[in-house]
Structure 1
Amino acid sequence: MSPVSPRSAAGPLAATLLDLPAGSPGGSVELFLDLYTGDRPLIPARAFMLGPSNPSRLPPAGLDLLPVAGKCLEGPAFGNYVTALRRALTAAIDPNQIGVLHLQHLAFGATPALIRALPLHPRIALVHGTDLIFAETHRDQLRVLRETARAADAIVVPTEAMADRLLKLAPQTDRRKITHIPWGIPDHLLTAPPPRPTHASTSHLRLLYAGRLTAEKGVAALIKGLAPVPGVELSIAAPRAQFHALAPLLKRAGVRAHYLGWLPRQQLWKAFAEHDVLVMPSTTLEAMGLVALEAQACGLPVLYQPVPGLSEALAATGVATDFTNSAALARDLDRLRTSPGLLSALRQAGYANATRYPLSTTAQALIDLGHQLS
């Protein structure tokens, strides 16, 4: 299927596009940048995101920006958007230099655009989670997801839960295409995590929420659940506009939250070391929950809603709770605050869990899969 294409020593050169503006928040963006960009990328690639041709801030080394506007999800405008992406990719890529396509998400515009721009190359589709969520609520995205599942030569899922959800949405998918490759976190975070400061003992439990504040992340349930709970302090690291939109709910609930800003990666890791518990109240699913694994690598225990993906990645190395049940949440927070040795035991178990997921292992598995297909 593949045209004759040169390979680097590390593997066939991949072409990949994440159709989000450079600088967008989210774990899938961080994973994308970790794998494909930098002076020595883990996976050799022509990697693209969206952005102006002359950005005010230079993108990371190895990342090219496509000046394509009009991202949308449905209707004729979606078709026009895919066409614009395909034209931009065709102008930017020499097909003879590419060995394999890495399709980020099974849905959205980047995937059909990349397939149409490079129709003869083998295709590895990566399931991230939001593609499944949006396919459940947008007819055109469900169509793209099913078309991609048929067209892909391999479909990579980070957890078995994502495979189960995909097969519910696209039951005709050839199960033999599905490969389980867990996502990973930077190796250097595992070998040299930030030191945890020694704090004077406090009766308050310092909670941290880190991530986007979109509906499926469950922050509304978190705030309502925390309202009657004494002895906790909440910090939020999130995009500024999303935090401001949350302010009325915080006020109604009477919950005071310390806003940390949308922190650069290194600062977020330091923030992990300065809190007692990471809260993850996601309502629907998480592809894997990379922020939880990064927190565990930094010695921060995780309190989480046991949704698909998170349950698999964390299991008993975190504490599962029900953020929609104030009594259950209060009970689990009180146990974390008052049980001698519990937080220390969770820190040890969490770090051991995080070490199972080095990013270098993820990259090598994807490179090996590319070798098999090209």
Structure 2
Amino acid sequence: MRDEWEHAHTDYTVPAQRRSPASLTDSEGDWRDYLDHSTPNGWLIRNSAMTETLVSGKPMHLLHVTRGIDAIRASREIHVSAGCLVGALYCAPLASQREGLRPHNLGAYLMRTKPSTTPLIFEVTPDAPTQPKGIDYLHLGAIHLRYQSYLTPAETDQLDDAVLAGLRAAAAFLDVALRNATGHATPAPDFIDQLSNAVAHVPFLGYLYFEVLSEYLMLHSTTPETKTYAAAGELNNWICKRLAFAAVDGMDKLFDLTRFNPRHHRLIQLIEGLEPDLGPGVAEYVRRRLSHLLARTALDPSQDASAVTFQGADLGTLQKAAPGLIGQMAFREIRYMTRYGQLYHCFEKARALEAWDYWNNEGIPTPFNGVIPKGEIGINPAYPRSAVRVWTAQQDSKGYLHPDEEIAAVLTPHLASWWAPSRQRETHNATDESRVELAPLARPTDPHPTVTRGRGTRMTTKLLNILTGINRTSEPSSGSMILASDLYRAMPDHTTFPGREPVEQAWSAAFDQLIALSTPKRLQGPGFGPYVDELTREVGALIEKTRPDAIHAQYLGFALSLAFARTAGSIPIISIAHGPEVMAAERNERECETLHEVAAASAAIAAPTSALADRIDRLTRRRFTDRLTVIQWGIPLSHVRGRNQPPDGTGPLSLVHAGRLDDNKSTITAIKALSLTEQPHHLTVIGQGTLREHLEQQAIELGLRDRVQFDPFLPRDELWRRLPNFDAFVFTARGLEAFGLVLIEAQAHGLPVAYSDLPGMRETLGSAGIPYTPGDPRSLAVALDEMGRDAHRRKVLAKAALDNARRYDVTTTGRQLRELTLRAAS
């Protein structure tokens, strides 16, 4: 047991001593030598200010931020949490200077991004110089495997099935990575794209991918900011945080590295956006470094990496050959089991007890994150030979911290129960959950049913009973209605959907039960209050009858959501923002009050982009920031049949625009742009709406009768069949747009897009499109002519469109919404 913990720790002040699998092209020592001596900031690996303080044996000052200061004062105890530091209190160093205690740049980040927390100053006085051994959570896989004896036979089968399914889906990439680690190079772009695809099946790869990129950025960056931190003996954490937030929407709300999977073109964009000089070398670095680290963290040291294959291997064979990887996968799957809460101490506390014992015997009162010594450091709560004092902190105008009130509290070897919902943790546990690991979602499981829904995803799970609905006719008449059908087909749960008649049977097949609302619908106005009261009574009876586990309130702030909010009682509500309700709330005070009421009743609020989440946050005066999360929308990519050939040639373009013909969609911008283009492009407008006749008349008056064609609203199958026949898609919304699903549909069929540069659209599209000024026909005309003249650019945009669309599968949307629901329902 001690050998496994020794294997999971790294001391960067001495040569590498860990055993590694045979046949690796580079040894751990080779990589250590390269990182130490061939990167601009490599000297900080051995000689950071944190390391120097540890080995000095002097008192160490550390910063911890908490939301639980009242609980700490009341209980006089400080609890720790599991995560990348296993069972240590998560902190960042403080440098003692004449002006006060200066936070490490990681600590400055924590204070700036967690303004609702209370900063605490800890003073740890060790009994002797501390061994600078850091715990490397990437090497904990074999330790994670030890606790499966607590599972029932059915749970063991469920775990084995889940792990094996992930391994089989990612086996081809895992074998490619091992070949690269043993000297058989794959082109870096192909390697990165295969890695991106594999993360969904083996989430541990998302952690590995991010840590490799963090290492690359911290050690190679030469920006003035990085140099300033280096002069203080610190690696730059900010650049890594910016990477994570740019790569994954909502990462600032929930730091979940299982979603970190940028493809090659996106990776280059991200790195060049952070530091242009680092873009050219990043893909090759990831290929070499991640392959090497995967072999070392996944395989048993006794193995020959060149002889291991994942394809076709059974689970028993892989447990012997790759215990590190199997353990990491099992570790994440176990935390989604129904009984995880009951068995929490069998897993997390048992692991922490072993870590505390190892640290005590090694003389480590303050273990740090040993993936790389970037400033994540903890306090061992069970260390018997150090003195620990704690104060609340006051920050002065220059950013220095000063001890304020000494807290009469004891750091205890007690783990916070981190399976509980976040607000419950704040109430009952005096700790803050700052760590690399994602707080687990209490995913209900059942050993019996095997469910296939959507794209045939096999699940062994206890199904939720979800009540949702949209107060419209039950047919695919808008993007939101189409999304609802796709989304609940992709989720395995039992769904009851109240809507309006008439009902289209094919669309309604996505739901287990569709109930026609009988309360006559009314809009905001004198009769709206009585209408909501009557609708609330109808919804209350429906809730009493269906007894849902959770409610999904579509359109945060419209009447049906308000009825849900007033009748849900203890049933958790997940509100799902669509955009129109936010625009209505921005225009009308009563609509805003309705949105506030629904938000207040919600356990969580999901928005498809951070831009929409920010608008909701502003509307609700920042009262519900902790409830907001970003879940990107998607389409059923498995149904897409794209064009066989990319666009070719120059000349006039065949353009298509699809959507509601109303003022916000601003189709008139596209029509007017055609009158200003140098080339005689042709535009097909597909859709219905109040402005249809006006738009037709405008086209005639502008002399575009032969260049603008109007077609009625098309069912999606027919729209998708026609999309590959066009050269490009034109998106013209000029106000709020929630996500732009039709853009993803167009991109999935290989169409370059010209889009109005609205907040959220650049977030959805990245660089995979041509932006123009919203509502400006001349700006759009210039963009269309440039696209028509440059065939090469159109080919590049078509490929970028396909790559971007692959990010947005509705099965991912369904999985993330289900996980959010499970967390709320727990």
TM-score (norm. length: structure 2): 0.42
**Partner of residue 183, structure 1:** 633
Q: Say whether the 8 Å CA contact 2:655–2:728 is kept in structure 1.
A: yes
Q: Greater relative contact order: 1 or 2 (C-alpha under 8 angstroms, separation 6 or more)? A: 1
User: In structure 2, what residue type is equivalent to 1:294?
Assistant: E
Q: 1:243–1:139: structure 2 CA closer, same or farther, 3 Å change rule?
A: same
Aligned counterparts of 1:92 and 1:149: Cα–Cα separation in 2? 21
Aligned counterparts of 2:484 and 2:787: Cα–Cα separation in 1? 34
Match of 1:273 among 720, 724, 748: 724
Aligned counterparts of 1:179 and 1:294: Cα–Cα separation in 2? 24
Deviation at 1:107, TM superposition (A): 1.5
Deviation at 1:342, TM superposition (A): 1.4
Structure 1 range deviating more: 169-178 or 82-91? 82-91
| Equivalent position SS for 1:80 | helix
Deviation at 1:58, TM superposition (A): 7.0
Match of 1:340 among 768, 791, 808: 791
1:214 and 2:214 matched: no
Structure 1 range deviating more: 59-68 or 207-216? 59-68
1:362 and 2:813 matched: yes
Q: Say whether the 8 Å CA contact 1:73–1:141 is kept in structure 2.
A: no
**Partner of residue 244, structure 1:** 693
Mapping of residues 88-99 of structure 1, within 5 Å: 88-94=538-544, 97-99=547-549
User: In structure 2, what residue type is equivalent to 1:71?
Assistant: K
Mapping of residues 1-374 of structure 1, within 5 Å: 9=461, 11-23=463-475, 25-36=477-488, 41-52=491-502, 60-61=508-509, 62=511, 64-68=514-518, 70-94=520-544, 97-189=547-639, 192-196=640-644, 203-229=651-677, 230-239=679-688, 242-256=691-705, 257-322=708-773, 324-374=775-825
Deviation per CA, 1:25-50, whole angstroms, max 9, x where unpaired?
A: 3211111111225xx75553111221
Structure 1 range deviating more: 73-82 or 100-109? 73-82
Aligned counterparts of 1:92 and 1:174: Cα–Cα separation in 2? 28
Deviation per CA, 1:74-132, whole angstroms, max 9, x where unpaired?
A: 23322233233323333444456410010101111110112233322101111111111
Q: Say whether the 8 Å CA contact 1:36–1:47 is kept in structure 2.
A: no
Q: Say whether the 8 Å CA contact 1:73–1:140 is kept in structure 2.
A: no
Aligned counterparts of 1:69 and 1:254: Cα–Cα separation in 2? 48
User: In structure 2, what residue type is equivalent to 1:116?
Assistant: R
Aligned counterparts of 1:130 and 1:338: Cα–Cα separation in 2? 37
| Equivalent position SS for 1:50 | strand
Structure 1 range deviating more: 197-206 or 235-244? 197-206
Q: Say whether the 8 Å CA contact 2:466–2:552 is kept in structure 1.
A: yes
User: In structure 2, what residue type is equivalent to 1:214?
Assistant: D
CA RMSD of aligned residues (A): 2.6
Q: Say whether the 8 Å CA contact 1:13–1:44 is kept in structure 2.
A: yes
Q: 1:196–1:221: structure 2 CA closer, same or farther, 3 Å change rule?
A: same
Structure 1 range deviating more: 135-144 or 317-326? 317-326
Matched residue count: 365
Q: 1:286–1:14: structure 2 CA closer, same or farther, 3 Å change rule?
A: same
Q: 1:42–1:218: structure 2 CA closer, same or farther, 3 Å change rule?
A: farther
Q: Say whether the 8 Å CA contact 1:35–1:43 is kept in structure 2.
A: no
Q: 1:66–1:324: structure 2 CA closer, same or farther, 3 Å change rule?
A: same
Deviation at 1:277, TM superposition (A): 1.0
Deviation at 1:299, TM superposition (A): 0.6
User: In structure 2, what residue type is equivalent to 1:356?
Assistant: R
> Higher Cα Rg: structure 1 or 2?
2
Q: 1:15–1:348: structure 2 CA closer, same or farther, 3 Å change rule?
A: same
Q: Say whether the 8 Å CA contact 2:660–2:689 is kept in structure 1.
A: no
Aligned counterparts of 1:226 and 1:285: Cα–Cα separation in 2? 24
| Structure 1: tracts of 5 or more residues without a match | none
Q: 1:368–1:261: structure 2 CA closer, same or farther, 3 Å change rule?
A: same
| Equivalent position SS for 1:45 | strand
TM-score (norm. length: structure 1): 0.89
User: In structure 2, what residue type is equivalent to 1:46?
Assistant: T
Q: 1:43–1:309: structure 2 CA closer, same or farther, 3 Å change rule?
A: farther
Q: 1:31–1:58: structure 2 CA closer, same or farther, 3 Å change rule?
A: closer
Percent identity over the alignment? 30
Q: Say whether the 8 Å CA contact 1:158–1:183 is kept in structure 2.
A: yes
